[in-house]
Structure 1
Amino acid sequence: MSTEQPELTRVDSAVAGLGTSPQDEKPPITKIEQRRRSSVAEGVFNIKDLEAQQIELVLPIETQKTGWKLNTSPNSIEDKDILKLYLVNPPVRKIDLHFPLGLEVAARNSKGVTIKDALDAIYKQFKKKSDDEMDAPYLAGFEWNKKECWTRLVVHQKHHGPVQQSRKKGKKAKEEA
């Protein structure tokens, strides 16, 4: 009996024809090179950087006009276009929303926090509360006070929502027409 084994003639398909040796391979990619660039949107800032550079935030006036009830979905707002607007200018990735009674929620979006992102964060906190559990169930708007805290907005609430226009047609409406 011979202990010699026949020479292998079959070549592994994964290695065949590559023509590179392990020494020719590139070194592993460092962590800095692995960072995703697509998730970092141009022109969107970190709020801490804005504070360091003393760049002031500007709130769009549309945030005061929503008349939105905190325990209803933000999709219930009639004017859907305002939901797409940035909550603050210049746009930021994350901002804290502070309620006067101490609750604080964070609105986040890597492409810039929109009004919808802020309303979604608030809705997540209030969706399980009934109307009688809330003292002021309607959003009055947001306020940025750089003297108090640069990195957060104060959320203001009110007791009554927008005035609903009556759709009833009675005798008086017919007589006036």
Structure 2
Amino acid sequence: MSVPLTKVDSAIAGLSISDEKPETIEKEVKTKTHRRTSSTAEGIWNIKDLEEQKMDITLPIETQKTGWKLNTSPSTIEDKDILKMFLVTPPVKKIDLHFPLGLEVTARNLKGVTVKDALDAIYKQFKKKADDELDKPYLAGFEWDKEECWTRLIVHQKKEGAPQPSKKSKKKSKEEA
């Protein structure tokens, strides 16, 4: 009852089976070596290039005044404009953030690392820590020390955050007056 297969009976009928690869396919794979330009933004540096050219990095002073707690989301910062600022000038694609006890996290953004990117990277490390586990739970700011390491920032912490404005109800403030 063996009947030879026809085109109707089989999906493989008419295909030739050979070990040779077509030459056109091999050439297409080898010639495609360009890099996508849409994922890189103009004016954004690689930190290693800055080190080679000995270009100095500057930090915005606003990062020193955030009063942000390391185990809370960066979206809890009151001044949202700080989050949109570049972490360093000139802007870089990635930068390492070094903590005094040895922990190191990397903030990345192909369009330039912002303060939010840095805080997100830090938050990712500390979000599961309880308040009593952190010796110094508040961000005091960042420092760049070119003598120690050109390609990373030192993260400073402090025990207490910025004083929060007290939220008294209107009734209590009227009674006091």
TM-score, L = length of structure 1: 0.80
Tell me whether 1:88 sits opposite 2:88 in the alignment: yes
2:61 counterpart residue number: 61
2:31 counterpart residue number: 30
Look up the equivalent residue of 1:81 and give its one-letter code.
D
2:108 counterpart residue number: 108
* Partner SS, residue 32 of structure 1: coil
* Partner SS, residue 58 of structure 1: coil
* Partner SS, residue 33 of structure 2: helix
2-side partners of 1:174 and 1:146: how far apart? 55
1-side partners of 2:171 and 2:112: how far apart? 52
2-side partners of 1:110 and 1:45: how far apart? 9
Q: Which runs of 4+ in 1 moved over 3 A?
A: 22-25, 169-177
1-side partners of 2:155 and 2:23: how far apart? 60
Following TM superposition, by how much is the alpha carbon of 1:94 offset from its aligned partner in structure 2, in angstroms? 0.5
TM-score, L = length of structure 2: 0.80
2:136 counterpart residue number: 136
CA RMSD of aligned residues (A): 2.3
Paired residues in the alignment total 154
- Which consecutive unaligned segments of at least 5 residues does structure 2 have? 1-21
> Which residues of 2 match residues 136-155 of structure 1 at below 5 A?
136-155=136-155
* Partner SS, residue 124 of structure 1: helix
Look up the equivalent residue of 2:79 and give its one-letter code.
D
- Which consecutive unaligned segments of at least 5 residues does structure 1 have? 1-21
Look up the equivalent residue of 2:31 and give its one-letter code.
T
Following TM superposition, by how much is the alpha carbon of 1:172 offset from its aligned partner in structure 2, in angstroms? 8.8
Identity of aligned residues (%): 73
